[in-house]
Amino acid sequence: MSNDWWRTATIYQIYPRSFQDTNADGVGDLNGVRYRLDYLVWLGIDAIWLSPFYPSPMHDFGYDVANYCDVDPLFGSLDDFDALVSAAHAKSLKIIIDFVPNHTSNEHPWFLASSSGRDNPLRDWYLWRDAQPDGGPPNNWFSHFGGSAWSWDERTQQYYLHSFLPEQPDLNWRNPQVRAAMYDVLRFWLRRGVDGFRVDVISHIVKDAAFRDNPANPNFAGEGPDIARLAQTYSSDQPEVHDVIAEIRRVVDEFPDRVLIGEIYLPIERLVAYYGKELGGVHLPFNFQLLDARWDAATIANIIEMYEAALPPGAWPNWVLSNHDRPRIAARVGAAQARLATMLLLTLHGTPTLYYGDEIGIGHVDIALERAQDPWGMREPDLGVGRDPSRTPMQWDASAFAGFSTREPWLPLTPDFATRNVATMREDDMCILRLTSKLLHYRHAHSALGIGSQRLLHASDHVLAYERLQGADQILVALNFCHDTRSFSLPNGLSGAVALSTHSGRSGERVPAKLELRGDEGIVIKIG
């Protein structure tokens, strides 16, 4: 077994705009992350993943990058970033940052040059194409944020491709000069001490060379965002992307002990290809199967078995429950089952990624129309695709603005922030925050949960149970996915005591052969 740190780490995603404001502008910043490092140590986190903080016009809140090698003044400075890395490393915390290679801002100097004329040396750094004979766009591709993926440039009389907003033109990754420039970006941050990258929409960066029309999506039911109308056959997941990713990996491997993570929304059988030939791709292709899964024991068990069976030899699994683009887990399954979901995430085989605020059970936050910020939600307002509810500020205490800021935050807080906050919940031994911290520290203390094997034991009558095993360290996890009491019989020969429960009053309890689980209860049993 490799001793790569990311195999046993728990990654904690921070959306910097929403974590901690230290300069009273209602928006979080890098100094705010540094200010809260002790909390992350207390919680039991190993690595911090920061969503973009680069200079940007903020049409897509930093995913429209205008300069890959600096910090937007909204978030601080390069000195602030260096101070954060130094402070994090002093506390044995790793720093992972977002790398956004598919597109830049339309205000990036590269695009300003590319769009200045067809004869500009950087013209081929982006994807320009002539109009159809009728003047229409080159093909039928949709933007992920609604409407055509092509915008007309009047000055040069061609269309340019933007898989997201028109202000986010796609780079041409078939151009070796683009690749070389982007690899220098990676080295810039690696030299500053970052411990790895989460690569945004990595499966999109290479498009079909012939720009063929995408076929209709046979599963589209007639309602939903534009992007769902077509199968992304030619606009994403092209065979050549794996050669490019192998190059990216070689750059990252120039520096020891770094990790490469890929954002990839694909079925399991296509997802696992991103580990690469001879595992020379991304170390962790994000496994998002739980984000859309039906929340029941049989479905989750099936996902676990399919995923584990599909992993190439030597590949390391990973699990995600929430992120900045999808509804939070508590919004999807409710407060009681969110506790169960936390236990699932932090005991499964593989590296877990925990989204900020999930540890205090933030759920859906209603965003009034006048407070809406997300460009996708505003471009397709009737579809409920807005991502603002998943990006609301972290809630630290019961003071005005929840200790996040001294002024009105950029997005609203939860209505119950006076009780749903870190300071209050740290005093409640049975709340989801304390449960999360206990699970994380228990995970650190037991190699079975860090690197141990996994065996599915039971998946019926709403109960999912599995075993984690590493040498003499043996742990059993049992989860009740319904609101009523359910029972589960331990396999012959196994006995132990309850180490952790999502409910009160069970710690240390010896487990009988037939275990009774209360509604919404999950337990961790130390066998022996």
Strand-strand pairing, 351-355 and 259-262: unpaired
Q: Which residue has the tokens 């999950």?
A: 522
Angle in degrees, CA 285, 291, 294, rounded to 5: 130
How far apart, in whole angstroms, are the C-alpha atoms of residue 15 and residue 33?
10
Q: Which of 29, 98, 200, 380 is catalytic?
A: 200
Q: Encoding tokens for residue 45?
A: 């986190």
Written in H, E and C, the secondary structure of 228-272 is HHECCCCCCCCCCHHHHHHHHHHHHCCCCCCEEEECCCCCHHHHH
Task: Specify burial of residue 325 (Cβ count, 10 A radius: 0-12, 13-18, 19+).
Answer: middle
- Residue 256: partners with Cβ closer than 8 Å, 6 or more residues away: none
What single letter denotes the amino acid at residue 300?
Answer: I
Helix (H) or strand (E) holding 515: strand 514-517
Provide, for the chain, the percentages of residues in helix, strand and coil under a 3-state DSSP scheme, each rounded to the nearest 5: 30, 20, 50
**Cα separation values, 165 from 52, 63, 104, 451, Å:** 16, 10, 10, 41
Q: Which residue has the tokens 């990006």?
A: 391
Residue 95 has φ and ψ, to the nearest 5°, of -120, 120
Whether 254 sits among the annotated catalytic residues: the reply is yes
- Residue 96: partners with Cβ closer than 8 Å, 6 or more residues away: 11, 47, 48, 49, 50, 194, 195, 196, 197, 198, 259, 261
Q: Encoding tokens for residue 101?
A: 């290679």
Of the candidates 471, 443, 474, the residue with the CA atom closest to the CA atom of residue 351: 443
Helix (H, G, I), strand (E, B) or coil at 123: helix
Q: Which of 184, 243, 254, 366 is catalytic?
A: 254
CA end-to-end distance (rounded Å), the chain:
25
Helix (H, G, I), strand (E, B) or coil at 201: coil
* Contact status, residue 432 vs residue 360, Cβ threshold 8 Å: yes
Q: Encoding tokens for residue 346?
A: 């932090």
Residues acting as catalytic residues: 200, 254
